Amino acid sequence: MNPRIHVGVGGWTFEPWRNNFYPSGLPQNRELHYASRHLSAIEVNGTFYSTFQPSTFAKWRDESPEGFVFSLKAHRFTTHRRQLASAEEGIQRFVGSGLAELGDKLGPIVWQLMPTAQFNREDLEAFLKLLPREVQGRPLRHVMDVRHPSFASEEYLELLARHGATTVYTDSEKFPSIPNAGSGLAYLRLMRSEADCATGYPPAEIARWVQAANEWAGMGGDKEVFVFFINGAKERAPAAAQEFLKQAGWAAPG
């Protein structure tokens, strides 16, 4: 499997995954250890709602194997506001909360806007200018997760390119799917898992996503792919991610 393809789910604490994805009787404090050895990435949703200490990020780093990557959703305080341009204090607080403790396991930061937030060029550009390019000498990658159809425009993508950011590509009936061929980073949130399908998405459909990811990462250069199975029938998300990894030829760490 191309090492520049990272696949996983949102979070690792979810009751329906116990005795399903997780083995029966696995202690809850071992769930990250298990998940990080059966997936290659996790998008952390807890950072969207709560502030964590540096020691927590260090603990996640130490519990996960080499090559594993955490994508972090920025705290909602930074983006759930009428004016994004006013977010400087929240951005600095989040980035400075200890993210650098993840070291090489620090993946992209996702900035999720409210579903009602519409594209406002001036306000968004002011926000993008506030995003730091590094933390403690470690480069940061920024991904905008927008929910309103007004963002589906070349103007939006050009603005992201100017500031070194990219956009989430969402596979969902509720939110726009915005491809961004001009970015080196492809960030996919696949949200159509169905409960009556053992792998969430049918294997043949997953095969098409695998092919697309391989083609993208195979271009070389700075091309990298993050794929997260999220929402939909969330209980199927780990099986969907594992099917993707299996088809992509991933070898789990020993």
Range of the domain at 32: 5-248
pLDDT confidence of residue 220: 85
Residue 19's Cβ-count burial label (10 Å; 0-12, 13-18, 19+) is: exposed
Residue 151 falls inside a structural domain: yes
So what's the pLDDT on residue 253?
86
Residues of the chain scoring pLDDT < 70:
254
pLDDT at 199: 97
Q: What is the CATH number of the domain that holds 88?
A: 3.20.20.410
Domain-located, residue 254 = no
Domains: count for the chain: 1
Vertex 50: Cα angle to 132 and 137 (nearest 5): 25
Per-residue model confidence (pLDDT) at position 227: 98
Tens-place pLDDT, residues 138-182 = 999 999 999 999 999 999 999 999 999 999 999 999 999 999 989
Residue 43 placed within a domain: yes
How many percent of the chain have pLDDT more than 70? 100
Measuring CA to CA, how many Å separate 2 from each of 54, 245, 248?
A: 31, 11, 8
